[in-house]
Amino acid sequence: MRVLGVDPGLTRCGVGVVEGVAGRPLTMRGVGVVRTPADAELGHRLVAIEQGIEQWLDEHRPEVVAVERVFSQHNVSTVMGTAQASAVAMLCASRRGIPVALHTPSEVKAAVTGSGRADKAQVGAMVTRLLRLAAPPKPADAADALALAICHIWRAPAQNRLQQAVQQQAALHASKGRTP
């Protein structure tokens, strides 16, 4: 499975591509950051993020795009920018028919470090180890994007089985004329 991880942000939108399957060594296919100037008009910044993500989609052809789920932050302007960048990433993938998966920051941290409260340095260190890199990707947004992709690869098999079980249960209830 090839996954494009996106750590959304208006100034720095981390992007990283990881390939592999759960239980096997993973391979980094690319990592970077789509940057926009803080003083640029919002619309221009969103277009720049779209163009950057489109380039990554063209170059790496991911099967899934994993995006960090926006969560409430104390700074409303920060969460708004994150949500806007997240929406651009989801739109780019959906326009191409690529499935989008959302993962919370604590899910990602727990998947790669074992703790949902890990700090950025711990996430970077584990991404470096898991992908057998010489050094942690910089800036942290790039490492976070790789962590999102890793999280999705590792969690997808269990999520797919759960979704299939729910669908089978719903079909069983429908065939008996009941609602679940």
Annotated binding residues:
7, 68, 141
Say which of 39, 68, 107, 119 is annotated catalytic: 68
Q: Which DSSP symbol is given to 69?
A: P
Q: Are 35 and 11 in contact (CB under 8 A)?
A: yes
Say which of 19, 107, 119, 141 is annotated catalytic: 141
Structural tokens at position 140: 């942290």
Structural tokens at position 90: 């989801």
Look up residue 5 and give its amino acid: G
Annotation: binding site for Mg(2+)? 7, 68, 141
Q: Which DSSP symbol is given to 150?
A: H
Strands 12-19 and 2-7 come out as: antiparallel
Examine the residue annotation and report whether 68 is marked as an active-site residue of this protein.
yes
The residues, any chain, with a CB within 8 Å of residue 30's CB and separated by 6 or more, are 15, 16, 17, 56, 59, 60
Examine the residue annotation and report whether 58 is marked as an active-site residue of this protein.
no
Q: How far is CA 2 from CA 35, 40, 160, 179, in A?
A: 23, 33, 16, 37
Examine the residue annotation and report whether 63 is marked as an active-site residue of this protein.
no
Give the residue numbers annotated as catalytic, written as ranges. 7, 68, 141
